[in-house]
Structure 1
Amino acid sequence: MAVTIPDVVAQLEGYLSLPTTIDYSQFPPSLVNGVCDDCSVLSCGCLLSENLAKQLSVPKEHFKCPVCQNKDSRLLKPCDSVRSIAKYLLSLKATLESEDTTDSHGEQAQQQQEQPNLTFLSAFNEVFTEVNRSDYNDNNYSYKSSTGTSQHSYNSRDLLQQPQPSQPSLRDETSTSPTSNSTVSSIQYIQKQRTRSSFQASNLTKLLSASPKFEKVMTHNKNSQQQQPKETNKELIFGKNFPFFRKLYQYHIHHSKFFPKTKLFINTGISPGLTRLALLSEKKFEVFSIDPDSPEASPELLCCGKNDGEYGPSYDVHRKISKEDIVRSSNFADSAQDSLELLSNWEHISCKVTENLLVIAGTRGFLRVLDLTCDGRCLYTYQCKFPIRCIDVSPDEKFISLGVTGKDKYTLVEQAFVILLRLEIEDATVDAADSVSVNESSATTNSGVSRISSTAASLFHPVTSGSSAASLPPRRSLRLTAFPFNLPYRDPITILQFSPNSRLLTVATALESRFLTISIADPSRPALVMKSQRKLDTSLESEGITDVQFFPDNRVMTLTSVAYNSVPIVIDTNITSISGTEGIAKPKLLLKVDEVGNTIHKCCASPRGDSVAYLDRSGTVYIMMCPKMGDSDNKRIVIVTDVANSYTSRESASMRFDRSGYKLYILDRKGLLTIADFTAGTVEDHSVTRCKIIS
């Protein structure tokens, strides 16, 4: 018989027919099957209506299954897939019934006369024969029915095509062929079934598109289908280019008022997500925003400010915090006036930037946490009794580490220790006219843990006439918890570096070139898990260990030094091999990078784990690629570009790979941003140039 949509619906009803209720009018009672939209699964594996299962589960949870006669069956869970199909089938059936009622009885009788008794195979053979004789290049085909009242048009992609003039037409064949009536009727029938099926599909689309969840899924699938070919193409280009071919983008993000003179910054920073760039001078700071997916777009100024509390989206529009607000959002205790006097003469030393925070360490032991989501407003001012030598911020923005060298009160012996600050930032709904809660400060003498809380909803004094309290951005509150702990050595701390998972902290010292790894999974009880030492160099040109970076696996790390015969190395910390609570791992040397020399200031590990970027103090940027760290025979080293030189490691440029490892970002102390893109094009592209190969 001919395949129609009502036949398909009837067959689906038979397949989806499940026990829905029990007919007690007969004796014995019998099950009534039907399409139900509340299909559920029993513990025995049978499917039936949830309403029926609840009736059978009274008064006991276990009941006799009406399908398989299992005596210990119970309701397990709903079957969502069958429910969705049943709901769609019921809606489709209702749509068909509504369409059938709107048609007139005369049209139904005419359609029944036109539909012959033919099989699906004969109709397919007739259509296939007609397709073979038709021309696939014609635009459309018009056909008039025997009544002369309806006309159907088909384009060149339809199954039925317009015949060539040299070939006999369909009307001529139907007049001579004894089976012409059957042929024309079968073609008409297939056309009408096709039109009706397309109409039903449009109703299904309308039914599904009414759901917002379906729209989200379709939008996500469409975006993923568009992004997947791009990512695949980039991965192929990267495999061909890296590390030998790249395209360079350069941007002067700081524009000086005096064109011939180039301003030099004391420190720079790049956020882990590559969306923020920071430039720091002795009195000012500037933060720029950048799109890591569009290297051709130049960075834009996000916010800027000064060390006296001024901040804003630009130097023309800025605000300033009053002294009362500085005291409220600080750890100043009884000597608030003395701290304000010291704060009036402090200068910046170093900075670290994340996606939402800018942390600046300065002279006189001051540390400031700035909110980048609020135009660089100061969230908190922390004062340490001893000078701060180095800082770092965890990638998850939950911890700040301070490297401090203090003196014993009685013996006057210097001692290196680390202060770990835990950040808790919350959104505040306090307006500018509301009162500010008083600072709460408490110290625990036994554990050495001090808690500092600050409500950052403070009053501001606008400098420009155009700013008002109503135009202030939303404010957030910050709570700090300090965890100080000593190191087993008196050597001053020069480097602090968090691991990618923010659970490990690496510490490097200056004179003896020691490097340690401390577990901060429990900040109140830090544990030393690895320690080692590099070669000593007491010459005046030596800077000791200059940088330490973890690989994405939080186990392998690379170290750089400026010392005699101290080339960069890649080591395995062996932290996972520790047995016991007090065990200390001994690192294993995996690779030496002799080709780049022993005057390396910075390093950066790729998130792919197979390459490392090194920065020489002369400004030369190297990339070392090794598919397997430890296999020195397969390592490749190239020179990517040259940036501004530096005299100390603190002045050196900042480097970071993007999240896919396709691009390398370098920001030097002259405010020049250099992007080396290894997926910008193929070797045939003139903008893609070759790197200088070292080995």
Structure 2
Amino acid sequence: MEDIAKLIKTIEQNLFLPKQLYSCEFNPTLGHYVYGIGYSIIEDCSILSCGCCIAESLYYDIIKVTKNELIHCPVCKSKNVSVIGPVKPLRSLYSQIQSFKDDSEGENSDLTDEITPTDRNLSVKDIKHHEETQQPISKIMDISTQSVKTTNEAIPFPLVQSKTSSQQRDIPHSKDIQRNQTNLLNLFFKIATKVNSTEGDNPEYNLESTSGVNTSENSPPNVFLQKANTNSQEKKYDFVSELVSLTNKSNTIATERLSQESNNGQYKVMKNNTNNMKPLVSPNFDEKKEYYFANCFPIYRKRYTFKTHSKFLKTKSKLFINTAISPNCFKFALISKHKWEVYSIPSDLNKSSPSLLFCGRNTGEYGKTFDTLNPFDPSILMNTDNKVTIGEYVYCKLSDDLLIISDTKNSIQIFDLNQDGKMIHYYCSKYYVRCIDIDPSGKIVACGIAGKDRKTNVEQALITLHRIDRNKMTSQYEFLSPITIALPYRDPINTIQLSMDGLYLSCSTTMESRFLIISLRNVNEPRLIMKSLRSIDTSLESEGITDTKLFPGNSNLMCVTSTAFNSPPIIINTKIEDISNLRSVAQPSLLNKFSDLGSKIHRCEISPRNDSIAFLDKNGSVYLVCAPNMIDNEKRRTVIVEMVADAYRAHESASMKFSSDGHVLYILDRKGVLYVEDFAYDLPQHSEITRCKEIS
């Protein structure tokens, strides 16, 4: 029995992780809070976005004290980390160890240090309070002041003891803790797919919906947990959590938020304020798929190819002007000079292929096939002074329910995909429309316009915001008067992109290669919050900046691509969250440069996991850059995922979109060919799994 007790004690050390917050002070020199952290055996293990495991209660204690939505990791000191979800196998391991301790209580009293028999009926928070009162002060440590750097590991470990500690004790070395975590990680992968997916369900948890102003009906909920009954001696904290956010930063599997050991507690699940909502991964979490993804990404994938049009001639395919993929990856659009087509993307590509949903012409006709088109409905022009002018299509964008198209006659046409592609709005501008975009929720359409000042007749860069609302009584779309933004530059706008949450608008200019960020938190009063420029070649062959994308859920990071001499894609720190007053404008700083990808990148697409970026170059090569963070080049892996149709100009290049869980990359080129790269189809040994070409 003693051998079993020693084995259990050894296994229990895998749960020796950061648990208590004893001090928290802001250090102006370091620019962040310095924590006094206590290590102990934890029962509520959760994983952060940086890949470190800590007690869930510790994370929310830090949030409560610092009042920050994003904090720095108390282990590796990564900035702007957030909790991803519970590590259910570790929590189950804790419960199994405690059950063994209770069974062998009379024979092995040394295994019952953490929870006494009187604590068996306490709730999770009561147990936490009991441990705080019984734990010796010697386990208090400050992990934010110093760190150890060795050749084999880069994870800092505390060396300096907190001021509140009164005596010195033996502290486990960081290598021992990391070795225990690695061993447990192997065990975790073996049992992850066998864990009952309903283990965390509890009828005492209920979902209370509240409407938000900035979220769509199909957007995943952002929820927080708040305990209903608490002890009067305990600290009252608001438990903020993103239940459906997943990651593979440490090749682990995020599981359900509510674990079995918390069944005695009474919690309410309520929807959070949508003003701070972050783009999240799909709530339809599949542990099996996540396990496959952890083993395959980014090297192995199942590859699909679907051609929407046959070749007119043996040597020439039909070319489309522009393409788009919907945010939920259920639809994609193709436009030629006079026609538009919308296709479906089936959920199971092994059983069915994309099929035509709706189509139409630039005359306003629409329908399910070109042979059965419905005539244009002139009633949409009743309350406007516009007259329909027929021009050639140039750009298109998709939301989940709307198709936006601009043409050479400076018009913006909006089609409702829930009404067979019927045109529901028509707007004609006085000036040339250079680029368009729509936010994923389908509430704002942004247009970059080359206008002229009425008094001086000097060209000026303008942006118009078309707001889309729904009538609460009839559920019909309503289009409010557009808002015009005049930029303080004469340089025409080249690209425009709305962030995933619709709170920011990034754009770039043509001649001087400036890139800007405009805050839309108050859409009626847009504000310039960041500006900068790239010193790149402006010759005739140069296209300047071709894409500017903010990271989903992290507006402090942005990827900028360009096609010009010696101008590879870069990652910048926007610093927009550090703005102190309304009149200040952030000055970004360079974080990383991907020189190995070349200087002819047309597009980029960022995974919702924030750990990988897909790049498309001028020749049609699709690169996938994967790293736990986009700053550390030593851990970065670069592969070529696909070769698609090339494009002479950026607006003709292929569209790319990641699925909401980050498992699948969709690519649609100007030949109408859809490429699907599924990194969670099966294990690398499967016969249908192929290997990507590794670059670095």
* Range into which the TM-score falls when normalised by the shorter chain: 0.5 to 0.7
Counterpart contact for 2:334–2:341, Cα < 8 Å: yes
Counterpart amino acid of 1:485? I
Alignment match, 2:420: 375
Counterpart amino acid of 2:483? F
Give the CA deviation at 1:327: 2.7
Question: Separation in 2 of the partners of 1:515 and 1:580?
Answer: 21
Alignment match, 1:544: 544
Secondary structure, in 3 states, of the residue corresponding to 1:633? coil
Alignment match, 1:483: 483
Is 2:667 aligned against 1:666?
yes
1:582-607 deviation digits (Å, cap 9, x = unpaired): 11112122211111100000100000
Is 2:303 aligned against 1:302?
no
Question: Separation in 2 of the partners of 1:666 and 1:228?
Answer: 23
Counterpart amino acid of 1:690? R
Counterpart contact for 1:352–1:360, Cα < 8 Å: yes
Give the CA deviation at 1:257: 6.5
Question: Separation in 2 of the partners of 1:477 and 1:233?
Answer: 40
TM-score, length-scaled by structure 1: 0.58
Is 2:291 aligned against 1:236?
yes
Counterpart contact for 2:400–2:440, Cα < 8 Å: no
Secondary structure, in 3 states, of the residue corresponding to 1:319? coil
Give the CA deviation at 1:478: 2.7
- Could you tell me which of 382, 393, 403 is aligned with 1:328? 382
Counterpart amino acid of 1:246? R
Distance 1:422 1:313, change over 3 A: same
Counterpart amino acid of 1:348? Y
Distance 1:354 1:619, change over 3 A: same
Is 2:682 aligned against 1:681?
yes
Secondary structure, in 3 states, of the residue corresponding to 2:488? coil
Alignment match, 2:624: 623
Give the CA deviation at 1:649: 0.3
Is 2:456 aligned against 1:407?
no
- Could you tell me which of 315, 335, 341 is aligned with 1:280? 335
Counterpart contact for 2:413–2:423, Cα < 8 Å: yes
Is 2:404 aligned against 1:359?
yes
Question: Separation in 2 of the partners of 1:478 and 1:428?
Answer: 12
Alignment match, 2:154: none
- Could you tell me which of 266, 286, 289 is aligned with 2:321? 266
Distance 1:641 1:354, change over 3 A: same
Give the CA deviation at 1:308: 0.3
Counterpart amino acid of 1:277? F
Q: CA RMSD in A?
A: 2.6
Give the CA deviation at 1:632: 1.4
Counterpart contact for 2:503–2:521, Cα < 8 Å: yes
Alignment match, 1:397: 442
Counterpart amino acid of 1:278? A
Counterpart amino acid of 2:523? P
Alignment match, 1:647: 648
Question: Separation in 2 of the partners of 1:603 and 1:252?
Answer: 23
Secondary structure, in 3 states, of the residue corresponding to 1:545? strand
Give the CA deviation at 1:273: 0.7
Alignment match, 2:497: 497
What pairs with 1:145-224 in structure 2 (closer than 5 Å)? Answer: none
Alignment match, 2:42: none
Alignment match, 2:190: none
1:236-292 deviation digits (Å, cap 9, x = unpaired): 211111111111100012346667642100000001110110001110000011134
Counterpart contact for 1:428–1:477, Cα < 8 Å: no
Secondary structure, in 3 states, of the residue corresponding to 2:286? helix
Alignment match, 1:515: 515
What pairs with 1:86-165 in structure 2 (closer than 5 Å)? Answer: none
Counterpart amino acid of 1:396? S
Between 1:249-258 and 1:552-561, the stretch displaced more is 249-258
Is 2:575 aligned against 1:574?
yes
Give the CA deviation at 1:580: 0.8
Alignment match, 1:592: 593
Bigger fraction of residues in helix: 1
1:125-177 deviation digits (Å, cap 9, x = unpaired): xxxxxxxxxxxxxxxxxxxxxxxxxxxxxxxxxxxxxxxxxxxxxxxxxxxxx
Where do 5+ consecutive residues of structure 1 fail to align? 1-212, 214-223, 430-474
Alignment match, 2:248: none
Question: Separation in 2 of the partners of 1:495 and 1:514?
Answer: 11
Counterpart contact for 1:354–1:395, Cα < 8 Å: yes
Distance 1:297 1:496, change over 3 A: same
Give the CA deviation at 1:293: 5.8
Is 2:602 aligned against 1:604?
no
- Could you tell me which of 371, 376, 384 is aligned with 2:429? 384
Counterpart amino acid of 1:399? I
Question: Separation in 1 of the partners of 2:360 and 2:530?
Answer: 40
Question: Separation in 1 of the partners of 2:561 and 2:312?
Answer: 37
Alignment match, 2:184: none
1:465-489 deviation digits (Å, cap 9, x = unpaired): xxxxxxxxxx944322211010011
Secondary structure, in 3 states, of the residue corresponding to 2:462? strand
Counterpart contact for 2:611–2:626, Cα < 8 Å: yes
Alignment match, 1:423: 468
Alignment match, 1:432: none
Counterpart contact for 1:379–1:478, Cα < 8 Å: no
Secondary structure, in 3 states, of the residue corresponding to 2:489? coil
Secondary structure, in 3 states, of the residue corresponding to 1:670? coil
Distance 1:326 1:258, change over 3 A: farther
Give the CA deviation at 1:611: 0.4
Question: Separation in 2 of the partners of 1:649 and 1:229?
Answer: 34
Counterpart amino acid of 2:567? S
Question: Separation in 2 of the partners of 1:428 and 1:295?
Answer: 42
Question: Separation in 2 of the partners of 1:541 and 1:229?
Answer: 45
Give the CA deviation at 1:505: 0.4
Counterpart amino acid of 1:578? I
Counterpart contact for 1:627–1:634, Cα < 8 Å: yes
Question: Separation in 1 of the partners of 2:467 and 2:314?
Answer: 43
Question: Separation in 2 of the partners of 1:476 and 1:282?
Answer: 30
Give the CA deviation at 1:321: 1.6
TM-score, length-scaled by structure 2: 0.58
